[in-house]
Amino acid sequence: MSKTKTKFACQECGYESPKWMGKCPGCSAWNTMVEEIETVVKTQGMFGGTLSRTKEKPQPIINIESSPEPRVLTDNKELNRVLGGGLVPGSLILVGGDPGIGKSTLLLQTSHSLAKTGQKVLYISGEESVKQTKLRADRLGAMSPNLYVLCETNLELIEEAIAEIGPDFAVIDSIQTVYHPAVQSAPGTVSQVRECTGHFMRLAKGKGIATVLVGHVTKEGAIAGPRMLEHMVDCVLYFEGERHHTYRVLRAVKNRFGSTNEIGIFEMREGGLAEVSNPSELFLQERPLGVAGSTVVASMEGTRPVLVEIQALVSTTNFPSPRRMATGIDHNRLALIVAVLEKRMGMFLQNQDAYLNVAGGVKLDEPAVDLAAAISIASSFRDKPTQPYDVIFGEIGLTGEVRGVSRVDQRVKEAQKLGFKRAIVPEKSLKGWSPPSGIQIIGVETVAEALKAALD
């Protein structure tokens, strides 16, 4: 027997109410409550029925045998890095990003690389026809007899196709287009996305199929659908980048099988996405030399050192309150650095607008970029350029001291590899390692010492 009921669900957070409300009590969003007719059908499916029960019993954790998760490597080293060393069979991965950023291109190339190794791959598209997918595969050169393509949005038919083919790797493009016939609501709503994701999770865990779900994003940049969608999957990857630039950044914000600090750099070409083995050269190739307000910082993205240019512009304001704008760095961090320069260094910045930008669109979260940002602001304020082949990194405290950072040897080696001549680093980070030849190491303990070494 089936039971039909009418409810109002928030399309932002999934809050449910028996009556309509203008403002959602769950997330305080306006005009997001949409009427849905939900039919709950009691079924006895293989993986998700009301009568399905587990026969496992609780056992002490010391009696459970631990074994390393097997990994399946793809041809894309950048993707393997972000995933923590490769695909894990039975994992459920969610990939989000802006429209046209290259999500489908990346997954079709990954499907082809896995199909070449003899694994069965099923690519399910709910937004493109089979012929459209074939045209994109022709352009990318993704041709393999083990790569199966299906255009379907019905969840029950998708499950039948998976049971018939028995793939090792499956791609659902996208989860917002898939619907369950038993749920009487439109595809893409909170109920449909939650129900369909639950089915794919049970399929992935029950049959050991590595499954990738493509998720649409809202205008704020978050993945559309309930927040619970990100809790259900094993990995959440965001594909970032500007349409007007050729490079893309793949970032992991959740990973149960690896680190969330890793990023993958790709370059969009005519034949698809190509991995960038040395992203520092990509970010520094357009760097101007001998210009005030420009410095280079060595930042760590996971286990990889990346050299990025930080640009600052300080100009006199015509308003009572000066502006503080930052792109790629936390706005609060910029305000802290400006306050330290005013209080400890005596710079009069109260009538100056300060703009800070990380060239290339990269987002830097670690505090090791503080010293480079401070020197960029001081360089622009004094209109005095820094040395063009200096690399700077270090954390700044509120008393004006420069604190030590981790993995200094890797940062310096990356700078020396790219031809930099000097490195201004915290004095406390000089112990326990030997600097490479060909680069001068300058240890500083305060911001005043760093400014004297960089600008004098």
Write down the pLDDT at residue 49: 46
* Residue 389 to residue 415: CA distance in whole angstroms: 9
CATH number at residue 162: 3.40.50.300
Calculate mean pLDDT across residues 415-440.
Answer: 92
Asked if residue 98 belongs to a known ligand binding site, the reply is yes
- Taking phi over 0 as left and psi of -120 to 50 as alpha, with beta for the rest, 245 belongs to beta
361 a known binding residue? no
15 and 109 in a single domain? The answer is no
Q: Look up residue 319 and give its DSSP letter.
A: S
Same domain for 337 and 235, yes or no, is: no
63-102 pLDDT tens trace = 888 777 789 999 999 999 999 889 999 999 999 988 888 8
User: Domain tally for the chain?
Assistant: 3
157 and 88 in a common domain: yes
Task: Give bridge partners of residue 39 from the DSSP assignment.
Answer: 4
Q: Which residues contact 20 (CB under 8 A, 6 or more apart)?
A: 8, 33, 35
Domain of residue 22 covers: 1-43
* Paired tokens of 374: 């401070």
Mean pLDDT to the nearest integer, 299-320: 91
Distance of CA 450 to the CA centre of its chain: 33
pLDDT of 42 > 80? The answer is no
Does a structural domain hold residue 126? yes
Q: Tell me, yes or no, whether 6 lies in a domain.
A: yes
The pLDDT of residue 425: 96
In 246-385, which residue ranges form alpha helices assigned H by DSSP? 279-284, 331-345, 370-382
Task: Provide φ and ψ at 35, rounded to 5°.
Answer: -75, 135
Q: Look at residue 44 in the predicted model and tell me its pLDDT.
A: 52
Inside any domain, residue 56: no
In a domain, 61, yes or no: no
Q: Is position 404 annotated in a ligand binding site?
A: no
Is 227 found in the same domain as 144?
yes
Looking at residue 51, what is its pLDDT? 43
234 is in an annotated binding site: no
The residue from 277, 293, 315 where one domain ends is 277
For residue 311, give the CATH number of its domain: 3.30.230.10
Pairing of strands 210-215, 169-173: parallel
User: In this structure, what are the phi and psi dihedrals at residue 333, rounded to the nearest 5 degrees?
Assistant: -65, -40
Does a structural domain hold residue 440? yes
Give the strand pairing for 263-269 and 272-275. antiparallel
pLDDT for the residue numbered 1: 47
Select from 277, 297, 320 the last residue of a domain: 277
Last residue of a domain, one of 277, 302, 331: 277
**Residues 376 and 445 placed together within one structural domain of the fold:** yes
* Interatomic CA distance for residues 116 and 143, integer angstroms: 9
What are 51's two structure tokens?
């009568």
What is the pLDDT, as a whole number, of residue 8? Answer: 86
Q: Which helix (H) or strand (E) holds 408?
A: helix 408-417
Q: Is 104 annotated as ligand-binding?
A: yes
Spatial separation of the C-alpha atoms in residues 411 and 368, rounded to whole Å = 11
Its pTM stands at 0.76
CA distances from 415 to 278, 412, 428, 439, 455 (A): 12, 5, 19, 8, 19
Q: Assess if residue 55 is contained within a domain.
A: no
Q: Do residues 300 and 367 both lie within one domain?
A: yes
User: Quick check: 195 and 160 in contact, CB under 8 A?
Assistant: no
Judge if 229 and 323 occupy the same domain. no
On whether residue 205 sits in a domain, the answer given is yes
One domain, residues 25 and 97: no
pLDDT above 60 for 29: yes
In angstroms, the CA 378 to CA 441 distance is 21
Identify whether residues 235 and 289 lie together within a single domain.
Answer: no
- 247 in the same domain as 178: yes
* Residue 248 pLDDT grade (very low, low, confident, very high; cuts 50, 70, 90): confident
Has 438 been labeled as part of a binding site?
Answer: no
Is there a contact between 434 and 442 (Cβ–Cβ < 8 Å)? Answer: no
Asked if omega into 174 is within 30° of 0 (cis), the reply is yes
Q: How far apart are CA 92 and CA 213, in angstroms?
A: 8
Q: How far apart are CA 333 and CA 346, in angstroms?
A: 19
| Nearest-angstrom CA–CA distance, 106 and 104 | 5
Contact (CB, 8 A) for 179 and 155: yes
Q: For a pLDDT cut of 70, what percent of the chain falls above it?
A: 93
Q: Which two tokens stand for residue 336?
A: 């802290």
- Which distant-in-sequence residues (6+ apart) come within 8 Å of 127 by Cβ? 173, 174, 177
Rounded Cα–Cα distance for residues 341 and 321 (Å): 18
Burial classification of residue 366, based on how many CB atoms lie within 10 Å of its CB (0-12 exposed, 13-18 middle, 19 or more buried): middle
Q: Does 198 share its domain with 325?
A: no
Given pLDDT bands bounded at 50, 70 and 90, which one contains residue 420?
very high
Q: Would the annotation count 346 as a binding residue?
A: no
Classify residue 386 by its DSSP letter.
P
Q: Give the span between the Cα atoms of 308 and 287, in whole angstroms.
A: 9
pLDDT in tens, 138-159: 999 999 999 999 999 999 999 9
Q: Annotation-wise, does 45 bind a ligand? A: no
Domain membership of residue 377 (yes or no) is yes
Cα separation, 215 vs 164, whole angstroms: 25
Is 204 found in the same domain as 226? yes
